[in-house]
Homo-oligomer: A and B are copies of this chain.
């Protein structure tokens, strides 16, 4: 069975660093085209200025991977699904909850595969943590995501503009892991959002969650901070009722149980994503996970805002 052909839409940093190497290494798709308004090219692969041009020129194309900024993902994904293509979407899969649910409906009507690729979920340490937590007996969960926005998003004003997610841009990765590893849903009970007085989105946030059952007996909290100098932290610490402590660190790449590292794999997230996308297509199903985006919308909805010092690069 020959590989499905794939068009990569949006050839920015994440596409070059992760998608293109993973498409090549996993050999589950044949890269048939790039879409790049800036005219990025690859040897032997045609580049189009817009997705519409690509779809017109390559009517037999099977699938697309949408790696553009979030604001235009909804429109491009609708266009691709209606043209009969399977679609993978980078995280976050849409700018709003309504857009994401609309996409799920479009995929169903089109009879095509839609895959919301929350990359942080695709780590072996995340799977191992999920397995350890499946039986419940969880005393507390503390999510800490502290990074330096000047280092990871230098000069990217869009991240602090309305709709730009702010510190929730990395924070949603943390929530995509949290909802994956816990055996029960959690709900945002309260949130504090610290927004620079000259910006629209939070630079720091604290969330308190209420678990859906007593499989989790104690507090579930998240702290996202965009002003962390020095050591960067992307960790989830779980205390079990039996006294064990799980440290899921490095953004989901490493797991230690009571201080002993049990899983620490090199970064294979995107390779697993492309294998999973191919598997979904072969099985004729979608994988649409809306829960991380729901939790962010909920934090915005029930959160208290506090104005803090202006932020400049």
Contact = CB atoms under 8 A, between A and B. Distances in A.
A142 interface: no
Interface string A178-200: 00000001111011000100001
A98 B162 contact: no
A162 B186 CA distance: 19
A211 to B, nearest CB: 11
A294 B98 CA distance: 6
A46 interface: no
Interface residues of A, number: 34
A217 interface: no
Interface string A86-107: 0000000001111101100000
Contacts of A190: 162-163
Contacts of A162: 190-191, 302-304
Contact of A102 (B74, B200, B212, B297): B212
B163 A96 contact: no
A290 interface: yes
A305 B195 CA distance: 10
A163 to B, nearest CB: 4
A309 to B, nearest CB: 16
B187 A305 contact: no
Interface in A226-252: none
A290 B101 contact: yes
User: How many copies of this protein are present in the complex?
Assistant: 2
A291 interface: yes
B200 A98 contact: no
Given A162-B304, A290-B101, A305-B200, A188 B96 contact: yes
B163 A98 contact: no
A73 B170 CA distance: 31
Contacts of A290: 101
A179 to B, nearest CB: 9
21 contacts: A96-B188, A96-B298, A97-B294, A97-B297, A98-B187, A98-B291, A102-B185, A102-B212, A162-B190, A162-B303, A162-B304, A163-B190, A163-B302, A195-B305, A294-B297, A297-B297, A297-B298, A297-B300, A297-B301, A300-B301, A307-B307
Given A95-B302, A98-B294, A200-B305, 15 more contacts: A74-B187, A78-B212, A96-B187, A96-B302, A97-B97, A97-B298, A98-B185, A98-B186, A98-B295, A98-B298, A162-B304, A296-B301, A297-B298, A297-B300, A297-B301
